[in-house]
Amino acid sequence: MGTAAETRAKVILHLDMNSFFASVEQAHDPSLKGIPMAVAGNPKERRGILVTCSYEARALGIYTTMTVGEARRICPDLVIVPPDFEKYRIASTAVFTILRSYTELVEPVSIDEAYIDITAIGGLTDAVNIASGMQQRILKELDLPCSIGIAPNKFLAKTASDMKKPMGITILRKRQVEALLWPLPVIEMHGIGKSTEKKLHTLGIYTMGDLANADKVKIKATLGKNGLRLQKRANGVDHRPVDPEAAEERKSIGSSTTLPVDETDLDACLEVFKWLSIKVADRLDKNQLAGTVVMIQIRTADWRNQTRSRSLLNPIYKVQDIYKEAVDLFQKHWDHEPVRLLGVTVTNVVPMNELHEQLSIYNFEKHAKEDKIDGLLTQLGQKFGEGSIKRGNK
């Protein structure tokens, strides 16, 4: 009974590869299976950082963001291998190819996770069979484990995929939110990091239930529009569609303008950059994105185009940060030729609510090279926290 209604209701999967880099290494070298092993950016350096580790290593208390030295103190026999990004990209492409054999409604979120809308190919009636089929094919064809969450929206699907790892399939219904999610501390909620947790604590909000039932005016005053989005999610509400094009669109957000005159005045150019930065920041906010590369475009009166960019350690999205980087690039590279067009673009963007989970090996190693290990570990500890080690069971 009610099958048609169930089929019409949105059914979204969140597929999360388990301990992805380590699992790919194990698939390539079976001797690494069943033992404590990890992937580290610089295995020979005691201060190199673990990017991921096997479940056997996790069982001993080893976790992502630990240094090689710390991990070896816990397990002297820990096998550590260097990362091979080409290998991981090939494996990721193979996973997404399998997912797209079911439906085109696949939205990659990162190298090792995706949302899939299965409403039209079976909905809730067939959801477990579809999820199980995907999971078994990925295991059989690629020798890689994954966990899948099944829910009526993205937020609940992502939350569900974390509930059982490795090789879990979990259904999370909206009616279960109050019983299962509301008792959890707010830091357990996707999209909330340590700084947001602190702000919520100042409002007397400690659990997801507190957030769900809090005063909207206070939430908005403290956290802005994002606070209201988080409150909706704490109530199990999330209307974001699964968008196969989103990954492409996410790569960059920019704005440019042709000037009314060929401009030679620095202050006038800086005013244009301020306006462009506001437009880019507004679009980033609307799409809830942040990026780690700022690029400017300069076209001179004689139609010569040049672009200059800068990579940043931390993703940015605020007007003042975008403006500061753009102006700095402009002042360093402008040769005082008359300017006809200016542009600002933020690239390498990621969803804001994924930021605390998107700390990739690239970020780890950049920090390490700049001798900021201690500060980084503090930062990562704040973002991942001891309690979030289970959240990091990828």
Whole-angstrom distance, CA of residue 17 vs CA of residue 107: 14
Whole-angstrom distance, CA of residue 44 vs CA of residue 67: 11
Superfamily of domain 250-353: DNA polymerase, Y-family, little finger domain (3.30.1490.100)
pLDDT at 365: 47
Whole-angstrom distance, CA of residue 124 vs CA of residue 392: 28
Annotated binding-site members: 16, 112
- Tell if the pTM clears 0.85, that is, is over it: no
Whole-angstrom distance, CA of residue 134 vs CA of residue 383: 31
> What does the domain layout of the chain look like in residue ranges?
7-172, 173-242, 250-353
CATH topology of domain 173-242: DNA polymerase; domain 1 (1.10.150)
pLDDT at 246: 75
Q: What number does CATH give the domain 7-172?
A: 3.30.70.270
Whole-angstrom distance, CA of residue 311 vs CA of residue 291: 9
Per-residue pLDDT tens, the chain, 394 aa: give them.
444 444 468 999 999 999 999 999 999 999 999 999 999 876 666 667 788 899 999 999 998 878 889 999 999 999 999 888 788 889 999 999 999 999 999 998 878 899 999 999 988 889 999 999 999 999 999 999 999 999 999 999 999 999 999 999 999 999 999 999 999 999 999 888 788 899 999 999 999 999 999 999 999 999 988 899 999 999 999 999 999 887 666 678 899 998 888 899 999 999 999 999 999 998 888 777 888 899 999 999 888 889 999 988 778 999 999 999 999 999 999 988 999 999 999 988 877 765 544 444 444 444 444 434 444 544 555 545 443 333 333 4
Annotated binding-site members for Mg(2+): 16, 112
Q: Looking at the annotation, which residues are catalytic? A: 113
pLDDT at 46: 67
